[in-house]
Structure 1
Amino acid sequence: MQVNYPRDISHFHIVGLNYKKTDAAIRGLFAVNQEQYQHVLEEAKSARLNDLFILSTCNRTEVYGFATDPEQLMALLCTQTAGSLDSFKQVAYVKSGEAAIRHLYQVGTGLDSQILGDYEVVGQIRTAAKFAKANGCIGSFLERLVNSVLQVSKLIKNETGLSSGTVSVAFAAVRLLERKITDIKDKKIVLLGVGKIGRNTAKNMMDYLGTRNILLVNRTIAAAEQFATAHGLQYVPFDGLGGALKDADVILVATNATQPTIVKSQLENTSPKLVIDLSIPFNVANDVNELSHVEVVNVDELSKVQDETLQNRLTEVPKAQSIIDEHMQEFLYWHKMRKHAVVLKAVKDKLQEIHTREIAQQKNGNAYKLEDVEEVSSRIIQKMINLMAGKVRKETDKSDQYIAMINDIFETGVHQD
């Protein structure tokens, strides 16, 4: 009898890079869009690495999953990125086992974010895991872990002040405008891209700066029209971008395209401008910086925008860590008990097999009340399982030894790592 055994967590890894060791330009080389993500998952299944997901945001690209060697995950990722495997190895970090599990909790709760307590990342984790599951690349371990991280993130948001106030990349852009631009209500603002970051930035400008002098430009005009109509803004088709840029005082770029959407020639011989690039990889070409009348600010520079909100959040870190510790231990206990449960079920199946065979032999000739025999035998089997399970739970420090012994005695076919 062959039984699939739960994966050992020593083979669970996270490989990745983030804002701590790499700037936005390098991160952009390893950013993964949805099409690339799809290809990675297809490659993963072909290589029998079918329990993983990728988190790719403006601050990080990380692969979480099971593999014999974490370098397998690195190589898998780099089949689709602009950056090479050798380049990735030079800047990447690797965590395995419980360290990898803890890292996901830290990321999902905003403790590892470039802006402490940034709550947007939890939605990105949810989306990334959901996409992997839809493509057959999430097993029970990862699904349970991600659900636990989402639960902990919600608890920390509700029970601590780690995410109190409004601080995010989109909000940091607004704070920057507040400090750099006087009379912002009189300035012409162009927002290129109305995805999530673009929409959040527009809402923050309306709420905190009190301006609606915002012109939306988006490749899909329907999206721009819908958002503009809902919020009383203006929009133009994408082919009107050139004229919009020429007249703008402030340009915010949130397109997340694979190639720059703003180039030097579009801004030559125009009025002075502030350009804020919210995209990874950069969507404002490097040579735009050569224009003396144009100031370009990217996401790494935005992260330096600090205020008292961030200082207040620091005092909430110990409380958040305590919540993580509690729920991580619950998750590890679930994994351990699940491992034991597989063995115990296999033992029960083995005993049931013996029971069935013995009853069949008994029916060959003797005049016993077979119903009574069957009932008693079934009760005996369940009592044996209950006794073994009780012993395992009581002697937690010896539980692995007991399970290994039971597994060996009954020759269940379960393979323990």
Structure 2
Amino acid sequence: MNMGDYPKDLQHFFVAGISYKKSDAAVRSRFAISHDQYIRIIEEAKKSGVAELFVLSTCNRTEIYGVARDIEQLVSLICEATGEPAELFRPIAYLHRGKEAMQHLFEVAAGLDSQILGDYEIVGQIKLAVKFSKERNGIGPFIERLFNQVLQTSKLIKNNTALSSGTVSVSFSAIQYLKEQVPDVASKKVLLIGTGKIGANTCRNLIDYLGCRQITLINRTHEKAVELANELGISALSSDHLNSAITSSDIIIVAANASDYLITAAHLGNSSRQWIVDLSIPNNVHPEVGNLQGKKLLNVDELSRIKDETLQKRLEEVPKALALIEEQSAEFLEWCRMRKQLSVLGVVKLKLEEIHTRGQQSSYGYTTCTTFTSADETAVRIQKVLNTMAAKMRTRNERGCHYLEAINDFIAFAAN
């Protein structure tokens, strides 16, 4: 049996993942998937017969969604890519199949499964994850259709509920924290390391919500930092100036997603008061920084525990969001059902054409009876049988009976 020889349907759709619910930032860091690891996962998936997949790796979760023979294939892909043992992964993981896996993706995209309820940034992260896999031929018709339905649902929830009102992300929680905890925050010198999507959004929030203007940007690709700095009217430095920029800043925000610590205690030797916010997974600020005199360090786990004043309002919107998910997931399930029917109807069509071609079908116990006068008439008869079969399949789940009925109907048409 070929490794990829299994139905590419809902019952072979799985998700294996870990999240903030059962693992802390340090453990999640060990399973965070880099660009190169993602490429290897896609390559290995194709070799092992996984039909479709994408990997979602954020500060709060690492998940692999896939159409596969079994879920252990997905677990192996994650563990082999990160070099971590499956024995560490399984006790903290959730493993879903079929409708449960589908529901999980809908809820993740809606922000219902986020550390901060209603986090809408996750939708953009899912888009990027799917796009990355699609560009490398890792996405097929099943996930393509599911992704489009999920995307549509997240938009409906965003536009028709208040689930994403107020503070909806870890990065914005950092802004809220600085506003409440840092005296005269607008006058402080801010160093922002990393100008990707999260870093850029944080930078704009620093300006729009806190009124900060003394902001310096540093990014691994200096040109990106300069581009954003020019757009916002702030400063940018090359990474060569990192140490001096750290020393001279009041607030340091790290959103770099580097593979190692960018800031350690050695960078912050003096006792001047500084606030350091680490938005990166893996952590890019060494935990020892939090023990230094005058330093206040927050990472994504601590930020996510900050209670938002609009939390209760968003909680009240959850039933509305779930109702929209139920409505939209029903559309996807109908597509799955019709797709399965089309597969069956295709097989039946081929069999009916074979019966017509062979004439006498002794293996079915029938005598010669194919008296159709033209190929066009034969095609019409076959389509009529298929339409009848499809109508019956919509009302009754008796595929085998419908299959036999279709053959009998075809023979009956030929005999008349």
TM-score, normalization: structure 1? 0.89
- Give CA deviations for 1:230-278 in whole Å, capped at 9, x if unaligned: 0011111110011101111110000001111111111112522110000
Equivalent residues in 2 for 1:50-69 (5 A)? 50-69=51-70
Equivalent residues in 2 for 1:229-240 (5 A)? 229-240=230-241
Deviation at 1:5, TM superposition (A): 7.1
Matched, 1:345 2:332: no
Q: Which moved more, 1:157-166 or 1:237-246?
A: 157-166
SS in 2 for 1:315: helix
Q: Which residue of 1 aligns with 2:126?
A: 125
SS in 1 for 2:324: helix
Query: Cα distance 1:129–1:249, how it changes in 2: closer, same or farther (>3 A)?
Result: same
Query: Cα distance 1:403–1:324, how it changes in 2: closer, same or farther (>3 A)?
Result: farther
Q: Which residue of 1 aligns with 2:77?
A: 76
Q: Which residue of 2 aligns with 1:361?
A: none
Hey, what's the Cα distance between the residues in 1 that align with 2:253 and 2:408? 68
Contact 2:6 2:69 in 1 (8 A): no
SS in 1 for 2:81: coil
Contact 1:40 1:76 in 2 (8 A): yes
Query: Cα distance 1:385–1:320, how it changes in 2: closer, same or farther (>3 A)?
Result: same
Q: Which has the higher contact order (CA 8 A, sep 6+)?
A: 1
Contact 2:193 2:253 in 1 (8 A): yes
Contact 2:392 2:402 in 1 (8 A): no
Deviation at 1:350, TM superposition (A): 2.7
Hey, what's the Cα distance between the residues in 1 that align with 2:217 and 2:402? 63
Deviation at 1:82, TM superposition (A): 5.2
Contact 1:53 1:65 in 2 (8 A): yes
Hey, what's the Cα distance between the residues in 2 that align with 1:66 and 1:329? 19
Contact 1:246 1:271 in 2 (8 A): no
Query: Cα distance 1:409–1:265, how it changes in 2: closer, same or farther (>3 A)?
Result: farther
Deviation at 1:97, TM superposition (A): 1.5
Which residue identity does 1:253 align to in structure 2? V
Deviation at 1:124, TM superposition (A): 1.1
Hey, what's the Cα distance between the residues in 2 that align with 1:337 and 1:208? 49
Hey, what's the Cα distance between the residues in 1 that align with 2:198 and 2:44? 30
Contact 2:9 2:142 in 1 (8 A): no
Hey, what's the Cα distance between the residues in 2 that align with 1:162 and 1:12? 28
- Give CA deviations for 1:134-180 in whole Å, capped at 9, x if unaligned: 22222211111111111100111111111123421111010000111
Hey, what's the Cα distance between the residues in 2 that align with 1:354 and 1:87? 56
Hey, what's the Cα distance between the residues in 2 that align with 1:292 and 1:186? 22
Which residue identity does 1:378 align to in structure 2? A
Unaligned runs of 5+ in 1: 359-369, 411-417
Hey, what's the Cα distance between the residues in 1 that align with 2:376 and 2:107? 52
Deviation at 1:408, TM superposition (A): 9.6
Contact 2:214 2:234 in 1 (8 A): yes
TM-align CA RMSD: 2.2
Unaligned runs of 5+ in 2: 360-370, 410-416
TM-score, normalization: structure 2? 0.90
Q: Which residue of 1 aligns with 2:282?
A: 281
Q: Which residue of 1 aligns with 2:48?
A: 47
Which residue identity does 1:153 align to in structure 2? S
Q: Which moved more, 1:400-409 or 1:74-83?
A: 400-409
Give the number of aligned pairs: 395
Q: Which residue of 2 aligns with 1:367?
A: none
Q: Which moved more, 1:349-358 or 1:176-185?
A: 349-358
Contact 1:5 1:342 in 2 (8 A): no
- Give CA deviations for 1:280-339 in whole Å, capped at 9, x if unaligned: 010001222231221110001111222222221111110110111111122112111211
- Give CA deviations for 1:17-46 in whole Å, capped at 9, x if unaligned: 101111111111100011110011111111
Which residue identity does 2:46 align to in structure 1? K
Q: Where does structure 1 differ by over 4 angstroms across 4 or more consecutive aligned residues?
A: 403-410
Equivalent residues in 2 for 1:167-182 (5 A)? 167-182=168-183
Hey, what's the Cα distance between the residues in 2 that align with 1:403 and 1:139? 29
Matched, 1:135 2:139: no
Query: Cα distance 1:352–1:320, how it changes in 2: closer, same or farther (>3 A)?
Result: same
Q: Which residue of 2 aligns with 1:105?
A: 106
Deviation at 1:389, TM superposition (A): 1.3
Matched, 1:325 2:323: no
Equivalent residues in 2 for 1:186-205 (5 A)? 186-205=187-206
Query: Cα distance 1:161–1:174, how it changes in 2: closer, same or farther (>3 A)?
Result: same
Which residue identity does 2:134 align to in structure 1? K
Contact 2:17 2:94 in 1 (8 A): yes
SS in 1 for 2:82: coil
Which residue identity does 2:390 align to in structure 1? A
Equivalent residues in 2 for 1:217-236 (5 A)? 217-236=218-237
Equivalent residues in 2 for 1:372-387 (5 A)? 373-387=374-388
Query: Cα distance 1:386–1:198, how it changes in 2: closer, same or farther (>3 A)?
Result: same
Contact 1:247 1:271 in 2 (8 A): no
SS in 1 for 2:134: helix
Percent sequence identity is: 48
Q: Which residue of 1 aligns with 2:368?
A: none
Which residue identity does 1:95 align to in structure 2? H
Hey, what's the Cα distance between the residues in 1 that align with 2:407 and 2:87? 44
Deviation at 1:354, TM superposition (A): 3.9
Query: Cα distance 1:5–1:92, how it changes in 2: closer, same or farther (>3 A)?
Result: closer
Deviation at 1:403, TM superposition (A): 4.7
Equivalent residues in 2 for 1:200-219 (5 A)? 200-219=201-220
Q: Which residue of 2 aligns with 1:20?
A: 21
Q: Which residue of 2 aligns with 1:415?
A: none
Q: Which moved more, 1:263-272 or 1:19-28?
A: 263-272
SS in 2 for 1:316: helix
Which residue identity does 2:25 align to in structure 1? A
Contact 2:8 2:51 in 1 (8 A): no
